[in-house]
Structure formats: structure tokens, C-alpha cells
Amino acid sequence: MSYPKLEINVRKLEYNARVEVRNLAKVGVTVMGVNKVFNGLPETAEAIVRGGIKTVAESRVSNLKKIENIDCEKCLLRSPLMSDIEDTVKYADISLNSEIEVIRALSQEAVKQEKTHKILLMIDMGDIREGIWFENKDEIKAVVNEIKALPNLEIYGLGTNFNCFGTALPTVKNGVAFRKLASEIEESCGVKFQYLSAGNCTSYHLIDKGIWPEGLNHLRIGGLHLYGMEYVSMKYLDEYYHSDMDINRAVSNLYVLKGEIIELNSKPTVPVGELGVDAFLQSKHFEDHGTRKRALLSFGRQDIPSENIWPVDPQVQIMGQTSDHTLIDLEDCDIQYRVGDIVAFELDYTGLLAACNSPGIEKAFVTD
């Protein structure tokens, strides 16, 4: 095993998924487990399935291929590409849809593959990303009627998404409006939606506050079991494992990024000579703090941006990055670091996303 390395605690992930599935069942909500941050890692998908998740969602077909052999239902979380219909039907049991032409192509391909493909029809309730606009009721009804008539398709449910592109918060008001719209469509088209899929992890704040609109019975969730966090009030939830880490605790965290020290010395804090721009064409300003002890780590900006990581040792300071190096200041550290030592970092969601998508970062799975 080499460094940099991302360690993922799959036991804690499984535990968080179990708490989530159980807590949301209490208000009648089924959880679709979103694995997209891990870029299709089968180990993390398996962990949430062990925790009780029955359906795993990915935004890319290429990642659904990676979890092909996991025994669960699979969902494509993004509208299928016209150029990718064959693999969508092959690797996904369900997909999120809002384009009738795509839906027709899915039906045709499902006939060919002798499969039934399930459609989660997306409605845009105001976040202005995917979905048929909620005010275009005639279009929604026409699409539902056509799905009903098309061979080898089944309607999985009606879905909506909040707090993504438009940052429109999930509220009681738009939740109830979504439910009313669904009832109107059901009545007009003679269908019954098995699932009203009301959003992502940000919708959890309504459950936490005890004001969850009745009748909404499905969420597509990553962030809640990933970080044990409620994202509207930005608070950690007691019953989950979190990703914040105490250097004095020997336990491993949900996610830890570990980098190796490849050079360690004392140098001035201000460069010598005439200054130009850095590798990213930015000019920089350096404050003079004298000569300080510092180290180079074996990962850089192309792996993970330093804005999205935090040293577990609070006395370590991040100085900056180039493509393949991260520079840290060790002058104030009680720990006497040496070349070859490992320095650990916590990661936020963006950091985790970057780490999982970097082929330069090893992935390791721990269970302690």
C-alpha cells in the first residue's frame, strides 16, 4: 500500500446507513442509497446494502458497471444519455427521467433486452436543474400517459430534487405542493405512484424538525449517512458517526486522507528573487515569518484541493499546493515529524469527491 491513501471505514458507513434506514422508516420514508461520491466503489455500496439499503444509485452508467455484481436494485441518478441507452437498460433497473424521447428509447431497448425498466419521472419544483417544470401539468400528464402505454416500462414514482443547482430549500410548502401535484396526476392519469421521491439528504431537516409532509415516502440520500449531518442547520446528528477526528483517540475515522512526508527541513517563508506566477498562473504574496520547519507531502492539487482538507494534528498548518505537492508548516508541532512519516487529514464532501476521483490516491477499507 502506498501514499497518498484514502481510508474509508466501511463498518461506520454500514452503521450510519442502518441508523438512517431505521429512522426514516419511522416516518414512512424508503431510502435509496446514493454511492456517487465514491465514484462507483463496490466496497462502499456493499457497506450501505449491509446496513439495509435496498437500492443503490449512481449518477454514471460507468459506475453502475462497477457495482454490477452487488446484490441490490440499481438506479441511474441522472437522466440517461441518448448515446448510452443500451448500457442504461443493461446496468440500471431504474433511472431518473424528464425527456420523453429518452423514455421512448428506453422502452425500445428494454423490449430488445427483454427487461422491464422503471422510470422515476422528475418534476422541477423550483431548483431549476432537472425535471419537467411543475407548472406544465399538461406536459406531465401527457408523459405519464405515454409511459403507461409504452412496452417494458414501469412507473417507479414521481420525483423532485431540491438544494442542488438553485439552492432552493426543501420546505413544507414545496413538499405539500409536490404531493398535491402527484395526487392530481394520479387522478387524471389513473395511476398510483408507488414512490413520491421528495429530494436528497437536505430534505432530512424537515424530518429532524418533526414537520415532514405526510405522503412523501422516498428520499435519495448520500450525505446523511456519509457524514451524519443535517445540512440545512449544518449540525452533526448525535446518533451517527461523523468525520471529525481527535488526534488523541486511537479510533479510525469515517474518512481519513493520509499523505507521506517526502522532504522535511527549515526554509525561509519568503521566496528569494524576483517573483512571477505559480503553476496555476496566480501571482502570490508571502508574509515573512522568518525561517520555519516545513515538509512536502506526496499529493497535490490534481488529487485534492487543500481547501477541502484539515490536518488531524491541529498544530500542522497547510501552506499551499502545487499539482503534485502539498506543503505543510510543522514549526509549532509537538510531534517530531520525520521523513517517511504519515500526516492525516479530514475531508469534507468536496474533498472526498476529489479523493475518490483521483487515480493517484489509493483507497483502503478499514473496519475498526
Ligand X SMILES: *Cc1c(COP(=O)(O)O)cnc(C)c1O
Cβ(115)–Cβ(82) under 8 Å?
A: no
- Determine if 222 is a binding residue for ligand X (CB under 6 A): yes
Instruction: Name the DSSP class of 81.
Output: P
- Determine if 200 is a binding residue for ligand X (CB under 6 A): yes
Burial class (CB in 10 A: 0-12, 13-18, 19+), 214: exposed
In this complex, which beta carbon is closest to ligand X, that of residue 52 or of residue 223? 223
In this complex, which beta carbon is closest to ligand X, that of residue 59 or of residue 97? 59
Q: How far is the CB of 34 from ligand X (least distance, A)?
A: 4
Residue from the set 45, 201, 343, 347 that interacts with ligand X by CB under 6 A: 201
Q: How far is the CB of 144 from ligand X (least distance, A)?
A: 19
| DSSP β-bridge partners for residue 96 | 120
In this complex, which beta carbon is closest to ligand X, that of residue 198 or of residue 256? 198
DSSP-derived secondary structure for 4-20: SEEEEEHHHHHHHHHHH
In this complex, which beta carbon is closest to ligand X, that of residue 59 or of residue 174? 59
Interaction mask 287-306, ligand X, x per CB under 6 A: --------------------
Residue from the set 34, 216, 304, 354 that interacts with ligand X by CB under 6 A: 34
Of 68-76, 168-176, 217-225, 274-282, the window that binds ligand X (rule: CB under 6 A) is 217-225
Phi, psi of 115 (to 5 degrees): -125, 165
Within 145-174, the residues that bind ligand X by CB under 6 A are 161
Q: How far is the CB of 283 from ligand X (least distance, A)?
A: 36
Query: How far, in Å, CA of 123 to CA of 137, rounded?
Result: 10
**Residue 137 is which amino acid?**
K
Q: How far is the CB of 184 from ligand X (least distance, A)?
A: 23
- Determine if 131 is a binding residue for ligand X (CB under 6 A): no
| DSSP β-bridge partners for residue 94 | 75, 118
Q: How far is the CB of 246 from ligand X (least distance, A)?
A: 26
Q: Is 36 a catalytic residue?
A: yes
CA atoms within 13 A on the CB side of 269: 15
Query: How far, in Å, CA of 296 to CA of 321, rounded?
Result: 9
Considering 5, 36, 118, 258, which one is annotated as catalytic? 36
- Determine if 205 is a binding residue for ligand X (CB under 6 A): no
- Determine if 36 is a binding residue for ligand X (CB under 6 A): yes
Sign of the Cα pseudo-torsion (203, 208, 211, 216, in order): positive
Q: Is the peptide bond before 4 cis (omega within 30 degrees of 0)?
A: yes
The CA–CA distances, whole Å, from 336 to 211, 248, 329 equal: 52, 16, 12
Cβ(224)–Cβ(32) under 8 Å?
A: no
CA atoms within 13 A on the CB side of 37: 19
- Determine if 23 is a binding residue for ligand X (CB under 6 A): no
Interaction mask 49-78, ligand X, x per CB under 6 A: ----------x-----------------x-
Within 90-119, the residues that bind ligand X by CB under 6 A are 96
Contact footprint for ligand X (CB under 6 A) = 34, 36, 59, 77, 96, 161, 200-201, 220-223
Active site residues: 36
